[in-house]
Amino acid sequence: MEGLDKTDPALIEMLRYMDHRRVEEYAYGRCTVFALALHNLYRYQIELLWGQPKNLGSATMPAIHSGLQHAFCIRKDGSLVDARGSVDREQIITEYGEGQEPRWQRVSKAELLSLANQGNASRPDNGELFILRCYILQNQDVYKMGTRSIEPLRDVRDQFDVQSISTRINDHNQKIILAQSEAIRAAVTGEPFER
């Protein structure tokens, strides 16, 4: 991770948080943001799975649950990848499009961002793509080479206390807020700020 301070406690904690807590969020909710991060880093093609329930809906009565089901990327070798690592179309349909009439669509970065701006896909939060870039670079064997996959919150629950990690992140965030408050107080009162 060139240019990044690998010893920065905030970065280490955020990467730990990504590794053990949020992979599931990017596999089952913010998949468009993760696909965008993969595209930005490796220039992978972005593909979307659209679906509409079989035998439901018509031209006059659209189906309730139709729409974007999942976003993922296509590696340069043609294999598929999402937040969990290597996946295949059958697995994607089973997990995201069961009972759907699947429609696959390759989109550009601009088209994906347009969908997000229209409210049809998740939009990246401030700084989120940078954190994802760091996380993906830390796990290149998963996202670039495809030599391992991540099972979100399934196998890590046995190895890590997710609540403990969440508590440590909250404690760290409270320390940051306290330091910011002290810096503001020092700026207003003219007193020196000691960290």
Could you read off the pLDDT of 106-164 as tens digits, one per residue?
Answer: 999 999 999 999 888 889 887 788 888 888 888 888 898 877 766 554 433 334 444 45
Within a domain: residue 88? Answer: yes
Is 1 a residue whose pLDDT tops 50? no
pLDDT of residue 162: 44
Q: Are residues 74 and 124 in the same domain?
A: yes
Within a domain: residue 2? Answer: no
Within a domain: residue 185? Answer: yes
Within a domain: residue 90? Answer: yes
Q: Are residues 168 and 136 in the same domain?
A: no
Pair of tokens at residue 72: 């993922």
Pair of tokens at residue 34: 């993760």
Q: What is the mean pLDDT of residues 72-76?
A: 96
Q: Are residues 85 and 131 in the same domain?
A: yes
Within a domain: residue 3? Answer: no
Within a domain: residue 121? Answer: yes
In which domain, by residue range, is 145 found? 9-56+64-150
- Most confident range (mean pLDDT) of 17-26, 112-121, 156-165, 186-195 is 112-121
pLDDT of residue 131: 82
Average pLDDT taken over every residue of the chain? 76
pLDDT of residue 2: 47
120 Cβ contact list (under 8 Å, min separation 6): 67, 68
Cα(first)–Cα(last) distance of the chain, in Å? Answer: 27
Q: Are residues 173 and 87 in the same domain?
A: no
Report the percentage of the chain scoring pLDDT > 90: 28
Q: Are residues 108 and 171 in the same domain?
A: no
Domain boundary among 113, 129, 150: 150
Q: Are residues 193 and 116 in the same domain?
A: no
Q: Are residues 49 and 82 in the same domain?
A: yes
Quote the strand ranges of 7-90, DSSP E: 45-51, 67-74, 80-82, 85-87
pLDDT of residue 107: 96
Q: Are residues 145 and 170 in the same domain?
A: no
For residue 97, name the pLDDT band (cuts at 50, 70, 90): confident
Q: What is the mean pLDDT of residues 60-67?
A: 50
Within a domain: residue 112? Answer: yes
pLDDT of residue 190: 78
Q: Are residues 18 and 83 in the same domain?
A: yes
More confident residue, 138 or 181: 138
Q: Are residues 129 and 165 in the same domain?
A: no
Q: Are residues 180 and 141 in the same domain?
A: no
71 C-beta neighbours (distance < 10 Å), count: 28
Measured between alpha carbons, how far is 14 from 132 in angstroms, rounded to an integer? 10
Q: Are residues 129 and 85 in the same domain?
A: yes
Within a domain: residue 114? Answer: yes
Domain count, the chain: 2
Report the percentage of the chain scoring pLDDT > 70: 66
∠ CA 141-130-136, rounded to 5°: 5
